């Protein structure tokens, strides 16, 4: 079982101030933050070594996007939440079912989305 205190949240955000705010918000809520990563390559380097419980992915990462990272994470049963100013129609059809938090977001809305994702992960993880 993943407790709130030990939950590991990957942050992938290319805007430094937003990434720092996200990290501070999550750490204040008691989560362990992986990253923040500012690119797909940086995110992949992190998940090569660490296994996040939930990933918060900014859709647009400069000239690229986070869809490849999302695919790999979902294959590894990591809960993914997209962060974007766009609608779900911007997401690839295979990823439109994933949660999306619209920017700008209220901190409580983001924390609620993370809590729901952790509940879903716990429900989908076989108990020993």
pLDDT at residue 88 in the model:
87
pLDDT mean across residues, the chain: 92
Note the pLDDT of residue 87.
85
Buried b (16+ CB within 10 A) or exposed e, 29-61: bebebbbbbbbbeebeebbeeeebbbbbbbbbb
pLDDT of residue 78: 96
Query: Which residues of the chain are under the pLDDT cut of 50?
Result: 1-5
Residue 7 CB coordination number (10 Å): 23
pLDDT of residue 3: 47
As a whole number of angstroms, the distance between CA 90 and CA 71 comes to 15
Q: Which CATH topology does 8-123 take? A: Rossmann fold (3.40.50)
Q: Give the pLDDT of residue 126.
A: 66
């Amino acid at each position: 079982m993943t407790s709130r205190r030990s939950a590991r949240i990957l942050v992938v955000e290319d805007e430094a101030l937003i990434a720092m705010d996200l990290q501070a918000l999550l750490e204040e809520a008691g989560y362990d933050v992986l990253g923040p990563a500012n690119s797909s390559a940086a995110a992949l380097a992190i998940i090569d070594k660490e296994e996040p419980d939930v990933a918060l992915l900014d859709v647009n990462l400069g000239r690229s996007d986070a869809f490849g990272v999302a695919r790999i994470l979902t294959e590894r049963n990591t809960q993914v939440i997209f962060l974007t100013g766009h609608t779900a129609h911007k997401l690839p059809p295979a990823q439109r079912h994933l949660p999306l938090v619209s920017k700008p977001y209220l901190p409580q809305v983001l924390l609620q989305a993370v809590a729901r994702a952790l509940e879903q992960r716990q429900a989908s993880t076989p108990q020993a």
